[in-house]
Structure 1
Amino acid sequence: MLINMKQSHSFLAAITILVLLHTGTGKDLRTVTEPKNPPICTTLKPTSADETKTIQKALDSCAKGKAVALSSGTFVSGPLNIPSGVSLLVEQNAVLEASTDPKAYDRGNNNCGTINDSGGGCNAFISITGATGSGIYGKGKIDGRANHIMTGSNITWWQLAYNASKIHKNQNNPKLIQIANSKDITLYQITLVNSPYFHVQSRLTYGFTVWGITINSPFDSVNSDGIDPTGSINVTIAHSNISTGDDCIAVSSLYGPSKHISIYNNYFGHGNSMGIGSGTTYGISEMTVTNLTMNNVRYGLYIKSNTKNGGLVTNITYNNVCITGEQSRWPISLDTSKPPVTGNHVPQFKNIVFNNIRILNNDATIVLHGLSQTNPVEISINNVHIKKGTKMSVVNAKVQGTWKEDASGTSC
């Protein structure tokens, strides 16, 4: 049976609809265990001066397999590049603060710190490019200071992003950590706060481990995504606590396929979603999300795309997920027309599996929007518990399984 209806009403009866059977569980193909801090090549102590040259010189001089350590205190720096095989260790009680000067990040066209149509005018605060075996470790903090007034301006990075969104343009803000064309990169235990743009993005990276980190930015910080693997293969994100103003995690494939991804034992305090998309052009597959608690995460388990950036999203499994909080208005949302832009890249959502899910919001809407009757979203549900009166918005969907309207309580 194929659902082809748009509806938003209380879901009073269970729906059982035939769909393709789940064919397997995708995951990181590596054997990933808890990382260990690398040995230290040198330890730096903070001064009252700008530390950019001092830290960069230490990184460039450090032997492969070792780390530059930042000891207790506050370091202020401009953009840094971590070389291949070298790591940065921010020790407990150490804080690495990003410069608030847009000129420090500018890529050469004087666009950083401005609004335009394209964005992308800033280098990241920390870049790892063409590297193997590099990482960022330690129980210290990296602060993007997006809540501080930009040098030479009267607004913050976040206010710039908000202003850009109001006129449907793009801010030129730096990412906190940018990883590109790299292999076997690790983020371990570090705390990341107040990024002007995405906190972490891995692009075209093979082997990426995120373990035990904390990301924290306010609920209203624009485009402050937590972790965004794009075109990345063999990814593990585990034992982390993420709260942002946008997607807590967003997996995409605009630059290459993303696959073999394990996301487990994480907590999302607030944000937009455990997301896939909207760029799915090269395909996203073999991904499993297990043991996730989301509290006040707007779109919950979210897969979005459109015909401008669409592609095949398949073999995605969600296990043991609890969603609560009154801000979690759309706890499961699969939408093939988000954002509503068009082109010639057809999105397909197939073999999406939900196992042991609890949705505890009293005013929730589940969204299943396929592209057409011949290209529906295809999902399987098993032991999915929702509150009585949960609304459904459904068009072009194939569903196997039964929704159980027996969820109770408000706490995971």
Structure 2
Amino acid sequence: MQAAAVAVALCAAAALLASCGAGASGGEGCRKHAARVTEYGAVGDGKRLNTAAFAKAVVDLAERARDGGGAALVVPKGKWLTGPFNLTSHFTLYLDEGAEILASQDMKDWPLIAPLPSYGRGRDEPGPRYSNFIAGSNLTDVIITGKNGTINGQGQVWWDKYHAKELKFTRGYLLELLYSDGIIISNVTFVDSPSWNLHPTYCTNVTISGVTILAPVHSPNTDGIDPDSSSHVRIEDCYIVSGDDCIAVKSGWDEYGIKFNMPSQHIVIKRLTCISPTSAMIALGSEMSGGIRDVRAEDSVAINTESAVRVKSGVGRGGFVKDIFVRGLSLHTMKWVFWMTGNYGQHPDNSSDPNAMPEVTGINYSDVFAENVTMAGRMEGIPNDPYTGICISNVTARLAPDAKKLQWNCTDVKGVASDVHPKPCPELGAEGKPCAFPEEELVIGPPELPKCSY
């Protein structure tokens, strides 16, 4: 008992300088070194700009992590205004309860950076793009977590300028990690991103769990989570309210994505809750020119959302979308339950290769219940390049009072259906068996998230 009391006293004495408890115990994912951002001169009054303090903290902790123990930057309760900053490897960004990191609204604090090679230009505008708020490249073992603190992009100024066509460059994203491996994002709230929220790009082994993402439902392009040319991604137990797709799986844009040739694959999405009146619960594309394969989505809820799992492609995209498995959806107030688009526009150079045709095949939907539905299915493939291998089984769509008389509109698609109500279109009318879902579970990330406090 005496030894335990001494340990507690030592822990309390060290609390302002380092982690104690889980972080010091050597548990998986916990860091040997920890420091508060206040140790580097940061002030949490929501007014003073702390960009230099965040940058200094990351550089110092990167050096301290070289002994193999890793390092954590603790952001305590308060409002911490800062410009964009980068992360480092073997590093945890820990937001304590009541902590809020605020993005600067002064565009002079957002330097320009190169466009992504798989996009060839900025997504909004040609040329370079504004930096992302939190970023990193070629990193290993990065954790963003805490006690549900907030990362606030303060995006209204960006949305206003975007609508007024006053931006010369593409807006930055709230979090973008490139060429990185072993990423965990958990128990954090992301609010009001200038554009896309979470953008893991060219990454492997990404876990996003217990994350809340909030943006006004009419804010422009505030996608929730966009895995882009990334492999082995697990998204679970997330709540997203968005002005665009809640989740959009991507892999590069037209000729740039075809040349870069890095697919998004082996992606698991579970227990998602989505609200997005003008977009999809989960979109596959539209930038899918490097290919999308093996996406497994299940046990998820959409409320007042335009569509459920939507394929977005078109002539000039190239690439493929295949081996998609969806089951266990509960949908409430939907414009379309099923939507596939083969005429999606938006090309990077206002031109595209007319011979770059996408391959869309092996799309499986099962065990779907929807209510207050305007239209069951809008399924549009591409002339002379139909979407094939579509399977829909065990589906009930209860119609809204103002539902369309024509419940299915299908062109250039081929598939089978089983136990689907209302009765599907003839192109999907062949009687099929219950749709496939892989039996073998994809193992992505740690079996349990690190339980560390600092």
Tell me the TM-score normalised to structure 2 length: 0.73
* Residue 332 (structure 1) aligned with residue 338 (structure 2): yes
How many angstroms apart in 2 are the aligned matches of 1:137 and 1:340?
35
Number of the residue aligned with 1:98: 103
Over 3 Å counting, the alpha-carbon distance change for 1:90 and 1:257 in structure 2 is: same
Match of 1:386 among 370, 381, 397: 397
- Code of the aligned partner of 1:289: A
Aligned to 2:55, what secondary structure does the other structure show?
Answer: helix
Maintained 8 Å contact 2:407/2:422: no
> Quick one: higher RCO (CA 8 Å, sep 6+), 1 or 2?
1
Contact 1:362 1:390 in 2 (8 A): no
Secondary structure in 2 matching 1:364: strand
Deviation, structure 1 residue 36: 6.2
SS of structure 2 residue aligned to 1:387: strand
Q: Does 1:42 align with 2:35?
A: yes
2:123 and 2:283 map into 1 onto residues whose CA distance is: 26
Inter-partner Cα distance in structure 1 for 2:248 and 2:128: 18
331-340 or 88-97, larger mean C-alpha shift: 331-340
Q: Which one has the largest radius of gyration?
A: 2
Match of 1:214 among 200, 212, 215: 212
Q: Which runs of no fewer than 5 residues in structure 1 stay unpaired?
A: 1-34, 148-155, 408-412
Q: Which residue of 2 aligns with 1:151?
A: none
Partner of 2:290: 282
Say whether 1:137 aligns with 2:145: yes
In structure 2, the residue matched to 1:298 is 306
User: Do 2:362 and 2:390's aligned partners in 1 also have CA atoms closer than 8 Å?
Assistant: yes
Matches within 5 A, 1:63-212: 63-64=64-65, 65-107=70-112, 117-118=125-126, 120-138=128-146, 139-147=148-156, 156-164=157-165, 172-212=170-210
For residues 218 and 72 of structure 2, the distance between their equivalents in structure 1, rounded to whole angstroms, comes to 35
Residue segments in structure 2 that go unaligned for 5+ positions in a row: 1-27, 115-121, 400-404, 424-454
Deviation at 1:300, TM superposition (A): 2.1
**How big is the shift at 1:108?**
7.1
Shift of 1:40: 5.5
Taking the TM superposition and a 5 Å limit, the aligned residue runs for 1:239-254 are 239-254=237-252
Counterpart for residue 442 of structure 2 = none
Deviations 1:111-165 (A, max 9, x none): xxx9984164200010021100012111100000012xxxxxxxx211122234x
Task: Report what 2:318 is aligned to.
Answer: 310
Give the secondary structure class of the aligned counterpart of 2:59.
helix
Which letter maps to 1:238? E
Q: Size of the alignment, in residue pairs?
A: 356
* Gap change, CA 1:143 and 1:117, over 3 Å in 2: closer
Change (3 A) 1:281 1:128: same
Query: What is the Cα deviation at residue 406 of structure 1?
Result: 6.7
Q: CA RMSD in A?
A: 2.5
Match of 1:248, as an amino acid? C
Identical columns (%): 24
Is the CA contact (8 Å cut-off) linking 2:174 and 2:195 kept in structure 1? yes
DSSP-derived class of the 2:53 partner: helix
Q: Which stretch shows the higher mean deviation, 369-378 or 224-233?
A: 369-378
Please give the TM-score of this superposition, normalised by the length of structure 1.
Answer: 0.81
Q: Which has the higher helix share?
A: 2
Distance 1:87 1:204 in 2: 20
Q: Is the 8 A contact 2:125 2:170 kept in 1?
A: no
Partners of 1:115 and 1:379 lie apart in 2 by 30
Distance change >3 Å, CA 39–CA 303, structure 1 → 2: farther
Q: Deviations over 1:298-351 (max 9, x none)?
A: 1321111112223111110001011112xx212211112112765232112111
